[in-house]
Amino acid sequence: MEECIFCKVVKKEIPAKIVYEDDNLLALDDIAPKAPVHVLIVPKIHIATIKELKPENKNLIGEIFLIASKIAAQKGISESGYRILVNKGKDAGQTIDHLHFHVLGGHTLPFA
């Protein structure tokens, strides 16, 4: 099976504007932003969707929310507000089969 685009970004085979990286996660500016601030947080291990999460991934998910808060502060949207979003499946808008979380903000977001 061919690697997904996020696996290639993690391996630095595809350029990206990385805003955060550690041993487990990579965060990058979205190339087609839906808000003035639109950052994707991607686990470095390949997990296709939220449905494939296992109990051993619970710390990773906690890390994602802590990093989302850190990124919101770094991008200047911590006080005004931001949204953390994850999609599961094509009907929900998931276009890449690699679990990722969106951090959106920078203006008033429509109710979702």
Residue of 38, 46, 98, 100 with catalytic role: 100
Asked if 100 is an active-site residue, the reply is yes
Measured from the Cβ of residue 90, the count of other Cβ atoms closer than 10 Å reads: 9
42-65-105-47 Cα dihedral, nearest 10 degrees: 20
Residues in the chain: 112
Catalytic residue set = 100
